[in-house]
Chains A and B, each alone.
Chain A
Amino acid sequence: MKNNIIKREKRYKKEEVIFLATALAIPLLQFAIFYIAVNFNSILLSFKSYTETGSYVFAGFNNFKQVIDDILHESNTIYMLKNSFIMYLFTSPLILLLTLTISYSVWKKVYFSKFFSIMLFLPSVLPSIVFVIIGRLSIQTLLPVIFGDPTLGEILNPPDGFMVVLIYQCLLGFGGNMIYFLGAMGNVSNELVEYGQLEGVNAFQEFAHIVFPQIYPTLISLIVVGVANIFTAYGFILSFYGTAADYSLRTIGYNIYINVYGSVNYYDYPYYAALGLLFTAVVIPAVLLIRKGMEKIGPKED
């Protein structure tokens, strides 16, 4: 009897191992190629330089020196860096806090909350390029008519265009993260809410002491993801301006994308690989610090 149990356990273990091996083969292969190998290749690329014969040679730290020099002295790079941080500040902390407040309102089922949740979610459902077309045409044709000022139709031109596009992007960006906040709020215990109501808490107190501690881990995750995207995001810039945006409108992420897209040979790749590595070295500690800091200062669920 005991032997049978041991034999059965061994059989189960063997089946589990075979299952894990078959289930994880393709995902691990993909991970090995497109995460480990790609990032390793990116590191190697950052130390290379393109020659006239079409091959790469070892370039030492030249690419990194060029990147640092551009960051410190080259006006276009400084502009793009500034735009990247502005885009982050608008689209991550600011939008997240507003989305959180709006999500709470929808969760509380304020008047017409179902209609509002559809309107909030709609910009995230429809293609962003559709809203870009609508936004561009409404700015160019409607604003001059409504306000009687023909120059308002030109506000998408540089240098004002960046802030205009950013504000428009923020206005449309609430719904995307709302779904995660609503999901987290759905886990708030009804008994806790009822207890709060019996104790006479108002909406603000309920949010601060009952709801916010519950959704705080979700907020941390979304803020961390936002920090991770500082140097890769380009928002609506590509949609509004294509691949030839003025430097005053660009972000670092946009610049990397269009230079990779438009590269005929791999000439620029080493420079952007070095740029990426340097920014990664900045972003990773920032992400860890922010996460640790937020976990320390934030409310606890208990």
Chain B
Amino acid sequence: MKKGNRLFAVASSIILGIYSLFILFLVLWAFMSAFKSNLDFRYHPLSLPSAKYGWNVKNFITAYEVMRVPLATAEGIKYIYATEMLFNSVVYTLGCTFVSVFITCLVAYCCSRFRYKFCSILYYTVIVVITMPIVGALPSEVQMSKNLHIFDTFFGIFFMKSYFANINFLVFYAIFKNIPKTYTEASQIDGAGQWRIFFQIIFPLAKATTLAVGLLLFIQFWNDYSVPMLYLPSKPVIAYGLYVFQNSRSGEATNPIKLAASFLVCIPILIIFVCFREKLMANISFGGLKG
């Protein structure tokens, strides 16, 4: 290795090493603190759980039991606990991921594989929408969803998320554009219908990218709380539960308990990250916006 390249490698490694240690320190400190009692955390924030107070594994159980979101109903305040919030998260995340990936993939396929004028117009519309941002449509969007009676419903949020004018459209478009037309022609000659060609011939060729995009969107939707907070006020998700819990002043919501709750919420995402790390960080590329 040349001297210049070695210098670059060493300098990069040192900088990245310092940064990585910073992240690792934060995460490990938080994890260690989640096992402490409140007094131990307050008086010995930097040290391991002391022998006097011990390792409080039950902090995680307590966190699961006390994490709750108050909901104003006609009958008074109703509390939504972690189990129901988990259920809401699973429904919200899986539904939005499926709808978002499938619709974007389908529209990108239509735009890239069919030589109709309408498909070209649709493609350029997507480019324009991505590059021409609209600010402040949020009030109108909330009003529209309430007027259509789909506000605060899972169906409503799934319908809103079936939005294809996003960066992932370009990812899928690039993939489908590069698949030779001969695949489609051969399938047509063999008598396959268009839906069959899409699902059995073309879509499998984009499986890896679809999985990577799907995983990224799953993580994004699982971690999101601001959209469900606005559009699903009576169906709080677990991320929103954590957001509310972090500001809780109740006696049970001590700082170690809050940290324990944080790690509980991370478990599904960590499992996905460990299982699919290579696929998550595989090549996702889009050609950029030209013209």
User: A108-B9, A129-B239, A179-B284 known; A134 and B133 CB under 8 Å?
Assistant: no
Q: Are A38 and B194 in contact (CB under 8 A)?
A: no
With both chains docked as a complex, state the minimum distance between the C-beta of A295 and any C-beta of chain B, in angstroms. 8
Does A165 touch B at the CB level, under 8 Å?
Answer: no
A21-64 interface bits toward B, Cβ cutoff 8 Å, 1 = contact, 0 = none:
00110110011011101110110010000000000000000000
Among A38, A126, A180, A280, the residue within 8 A (CB) of B144 is A38
With both chains docked as a complex, state the minimum distance between the C-beta of A267 and any C-beta of chain B, in angstroms. 10
Among B110, B167, B273, the residue within 8 A (CB) of A23 is B110
Q: Are A256 and B138 in contact (CB under 8 A)?
A: yes
Q: Are B136 and A130 in contact (CB under 8 A)?
A: no
Which residue of chain A is the closest to B8 with respect to CB atoms? Answer: A203
Q: Which of A103-129 contact B (CB under 8 A)?
A: 105-106, 108, 110-113, 115-129
Kindly list chain B residues whose C-beta atoms are within 8 Å of the C-beta of A148.
none
Q: Are B119 and A20 in contact (CB under 8 A)?
A: yes
Does B159 touch A at the CB level, under 8 Å?
Answer: yes
Q: Are A129 and B160 in contact (CB under 8 A)?
A: no
Q: Are A26 and B139 in contact (CB under 8 A)?
A: no
User: A134-B262, A221-B167, A280-B134 known; A273 and B194 CB under 8 Å?
Assistant: no
User: A20-B119, A31-B163, A137-B30 known; A180 and B286 CB under 8 Å?
Assistant: yes
User: A35-B129, A41-B143, A272-B139 known; A179 and B281 CB under 8 Å?
Assistant: yes
Does B39 touch A at the CB level, under 8 Å?
Answer: no
Q: How many angstroms between the C-alpha atoms of A218 and B42 in the bound complex?
A: 47
Q: How many angstroms between the C-alpha atoms of A137 and B132 in the bound complex?
A: 39
Describe A's contact surface by its main secondary structure. helix
Q: How many angstroms between the C-alpha atoms of A37 and B145 in the bound complex?
A: 11
Q: Are A129 and B135 in contact (CB under 8 A)?
A: no
Number of residues of chain A lying within 8 A (CB) of chain B: 109
Q: How many angstroms between the C-alpha atoms of A171 and B18 in the bound complex?
A: 12
Which residue of chain A is the closest to B109 with respect to CB atoms? Answer: A23
User: A35-B165, A116-B17 known; A221 and B137 CB under 8 Å?
Assistant: no
Q: How many angstroms between the C-alpha atoms of A38 and B146 in the bound complex?
A: 12
Q: Are A142 and B46 in contact (CB under 8 A)?
A: yes
Kindly list chain A residues whose C-beta atoms are within 8 Å of the C-beta of B219.
124-125
With both chains docked as a complex, state the minimum distance between the C-beta of A66 and any C-beta of chain B, in angstroms. 14
Does B88 touch A at the CB level, under 8 Å?
Answer: no
With both chains docked as a complex, state the minimum distance between the C-beta of B233 and any C-beta of chain A, in angstroms. 9
Does A96 touch B at the CB level, under 8 Å?
Answer: no
Does A132 touch B at the CB level, under 8 Å?
Answer: yes
With both chains docked as a complex, state the minimum distance between the C-beta of B121 and any C-beta of chain A, in angstroms. 11
Kindly list chain B residues whose C-beta atoms are within 8 Å of the C-beta of A288.
131
Q: Are A116 and B16 in contact (CB under 8 A)?
A: yes
Q: Are B131 and A287 in contact (CB under 8 A)?
A: yes
With both chains docked as a complex, state the minimum distance between the C-beta of A106 and any C-beta of chain B, in angstroms. 8
Does A249 touch B at the CB level, under 8 Å?
Answer: no
Kindly list chain B residues whose C-beta atoms are within 8 Å of the C-beta of A200.
2
Q: Are A20 and B114 in contact (CB under 8 A)?
A: yes
Q: How many angstroms between the C-alpha atoms of A112 and B270 in the bound complex?
A: 21
User: A145-B45, A220-B289 known; A20 and B135 CB under 8 Å?
Assistant: no
User: A266-B139, A280-B135, A283-B133 known; A127 and B223 CB under 8 Å?
Assistant: yes
New contact pairs (4) apart from A23-B106, A34-B141, A108-B9, CB-CB < 8 Å: A20-B110, A126-B266, A242-B247, A269-B140
* A–B Cβ pairs within 8 angstroms, 23 of them: A12-B188, A19-B194, A23-B198, A30-B103, A41-B144, A42-B134, A102-B16, A112-B16, A118-B277, A119-B16, A134-B262, A145-B45, A171-B22, A172-B23, A183-B284, A183-B285, A202-B4, A204-B4, A217-B287, A242-B247, A256-B136, A274-B136, A283-B133
A-B interface, 8 closest residue pairs, ranked by CB to CB distance from nearest = A276-B136, A217-B288, A228-B133, A183-B285, A19-B194, A202-B4, A119-B20, A42-B140
